[in-house]
Amino acid sequence: MDRPSRRNVLVTGGALGAVGALGVAVPAKASPLWTWSPKGSVAGSGAGDDPRWVWDEEADTLVASLLDRGDVPKVNDLLRTWTKNGQPLPDGLPADLRAFMEKARQLPSWADQGKLATAVNFNEKRGLYLGVTYGFASGMMSTVIPHEARAVYYSKGGADMRDRITKTAKLGYDIGTSNAYKPDGEMIVTCVKTRLAHAGVRHLLPKSPYWTKVADEKVPISQRDMMVTWHSLPTTVMRELVKWKVPIAPAESAAFLHSWQVAAHMLGIKDEYIPSSWDEANAQAEQVLTPVLAPTPEGVKLADILLNLGSSLDGGLLTKPVLGSLTRYVLGDQIAGWLNIPKDPFWDPVFQIAWEPFIQVREGLLSMEHAPGVLQKAYWAFDEMLRLGALLYLSSGKLPISIQIPTTNNPNY
């Protein structure tokens, strides 16, 4: 079999994970008191404030001003040309925006270039599994994080999910590239633009009568919201890889976490909320992610859109039942039921029986030649799923893809 490219795998995961990385999340019901200690963060200390009441004050004030001044269309046009981390900012940007971006594009002092290099090796070796987990563990999970689903649905991105998917796929792809945080890479650019886009949503979404009718908060995308989304990515991904018994060296596991710690900082999460280890990440996720999972009408609709788009990427080989069964396998019967994903008498047991042996084949622990015929066909289907290249398809070949500050909410709602 041809080996799937890392680009195609990571982009495919990003395509199905569209709601996640650029989305937002808040509890569907009353949350427990904030007890996680900042001693467990990369900062090692902090005020310990409940992150539900902390946002991104610097970015929010700036973007609100840009919107009120009518500068955002011009800014979006200028930033479309800013694509590389080390590239000078475009001429003509408002002075206050330029000053913010020059500061926001700097890596944190604690960024470890050695760990980031090791993360590159991990991404290259495990790109197949990352594509699946980003898409089905993280992306589909985001549709059962109530306010994440609602915020996406009622904000501008909800009006064009293909465009939304494309931009989210870019984040998932950029963090896995060999030059992600280097001058010729694009991850820093993507994070800074996403931070600005989030600030735009914070300013605009409270003006939507549709969002305010269902929201249980005044302003979306708090620090807690961003942490919930963050945990739906690296924390959830690593849990799945461990569950699937993928052999991972401790140094590579730590490096993968570090690449996402840096991403969290660049996306505007305060250092005192960024977990310093997997143990701390899992402890925090148990408090902020697990309790909020629940169905919403908006999430059900978004999940259906994502599965339909995903099944259209290869011309029909990967049908909606296949993708639905993979979602059920990864996230479980309860979440699949919430999303109205029907059980499939063929593909459900295939994933239950064949997925972990498929990984063992990939890891060289089993031989494909000794697998029964039905499993050989299943493995081939798995490879085809991982081989999908969605980014150019979704963007209609229009590059570069540029994340923009929104100027409106979803005009359809």
Q: What percent of the chain has pLDDT over 90?
A: 60
* pLDDT average, residue stretch 344-356: 91
Rounded Cα–Cα distance for residues 54 and 71 (Å): 26
Tell me, yes or no, whether 34 lies in a domain: yes
Per-residue pLDDT at 1: 39
Band of residue 334 on the pLDDT scale cut at 50, 70, 90: very high
Tell me, yes or no, whether 395 lies in a domain: no
Least confident of 11-20, 101-110, 206-215: 11-20
Nearest alpha-carbon partner for 7 in 297, 393, 413: 393
**What global pTM score does this model have?**
0.86
Per-residue pLDDT at 240: 93
Name which residue leads in pLDDT, 307 or 115. Answer: 115
Tell me, yes or no, whether 128 lies in a domain: yes
Q: Is residue 188 within 8 Å of residue 181, measured between CB atoms?
A: yes
Tell me, yes or no, whether 318 lies in a domain: no
Name which residue leads in pLDDT, 198 or 401. Answer: 198
* pLDDT average, residue stretch 98-109: 98
Per-residue pLDDT at 30: 52
Name which residue leads in pLDDT, 165 or 147. Answer: 147
Q: Is residue 150 within 8 Å of residue 298, measured between CB atoms?
A: yes
* pLDDT average, residue stretch 85-104: 98
User: Rounded to whole angstroms, what are the CA distances from 260 to 190, 297, 331?
Assistant: 14, 31, 22
DSSP code per residue over 204-219: HGGG-HHHHHH-SSSS
N residues, the chain: 413
Tell me, yes or no, whether 336 lies in a domain: no
Tell me, yes or no, whether 100 lies in a domain: yes
Band of residue 395 on the pLDDT scale cut at 50, 70, 90: very low
Per-residue pLDDT at 377: 55
Number of domains in the chain: 1
User: Rounded to whole angstroms, what are the CA distances from 281 to 8, 138, 228, 289?
Assistant: 28, 15, 11, 11
Tell me, yes or no, whether 384 lies in a domain: no
Per-residue pLDDT at 322: 84
- In tens, the pLDDT along 13-58 reads 444 444 444 444 434 455 568 999 999 999 999 999 999 999 999 9
Tell me, yes or no, whether 310 lies in a domain: no
Name which residue leads in pLDDT, 20 or 267. Answer: 267
Q: Which domain holds residue 286?
A: 6-295
Question: Tokens 């650019």 — which residue?
Answer: 189
Q: Is residue 255 within 8 Å of residue 119, measured between CB atoms?
A: yes
Band of residue 348 on the pLDDT scale cut at 50, 70, 90: very high
Task: Please determine, for residue 198, whether its predicted confidence score (pLDDT) is greater than 70.
Answer: yes
Band of residue 147 on the pLDDT scale cut at 50, 70, 90: confident
Q: What percent of the chain has pLDDT over 70?
A: 80
- In tens, the pLDDT along 232-241 reads 999 999 999 9
Nearest alpha-carbon partner for 12 in 121, 125, 130: 130
Task: Please determine, for residue 186, whether its predicted confidence score (pLDDT) is greater than 90.
Answer: yes
